[in-house]
Amino acid sequence: MAQELVVGYNPLPAAERVAHYQGLVRSRLIWLGIGVVLLVGLWFWLRDQLDTASTIWLFVLGLGFSGIWLVIAIILYLAARRGLDRINATQGYAIRVDPQGIEVAGKTVTWPDVAGIATVRRGLGGQPRLTLRDTSGVTASVPITFLDTLPGTLDSAIRAYSRGSQWIDTSKLGN
């Protein structure tokens, strides 16, 4: 058996999310532009029949839907970009497991001092995180999507190195 398992950071899933949301923003901008062109054309065609209030309502309702979706896409893009920037700014490794203990995001805990290792999902739509909690209640966590090793491989290493006293508790993910 190797002396330790070192799990690094993997920027590829985060980069894929950034590319996806960047394309989504571009798509929403195109649809917003199409909406503007259609509304202006509709206004030119019906301008004699519309008063000022009707014109304002036409543009607010016509562009509001596309505008809301554009804002949502921009927020998701910025969140994905922030996640990628965090991965790129991080030096070293995410997790290290050896016969003496475990290190998660720079916090090292010996096996007897580990209170639990779990995967948890924070907030609505939050990505799952691997969280290490020691006996004093201090926690350290890292998003699972940042890791370059599958959770099952990590769980097997934790069970082996802790001699079966620790494992990754996935019950808090809430399927």
* Spatial separation of the C-alpha atoms in residues 91 and 51, rounded to whole Å: 61
Is the domain spanning 94-173 CATH 2.30.29.30? The answer is yes
Q: Identity (one letter) of the amino acid at 129?
A: R
pTM higher than the cut 0.85? no
Q: Are 119 and 168 in contact (CB under 8 A)?
A: yes
Q: Walk along the chain (175 residues) and give the pLDDT tens digit of each residue.
A: 568 889 988 888 889 989 999 999 999 999 999 988 988 888 888 878 878 887 788 788 888 888 999 999 999 999 989 988 888 777 778 899 999 999 998 899 999 999 999 988 776 556 788 999 999 999 998 888 888 888 888 999 999 999 989 999 887 766 5
* Spatial separation of the C-alpha atoms in residues 175 and 170, rounded to whole Å: 10
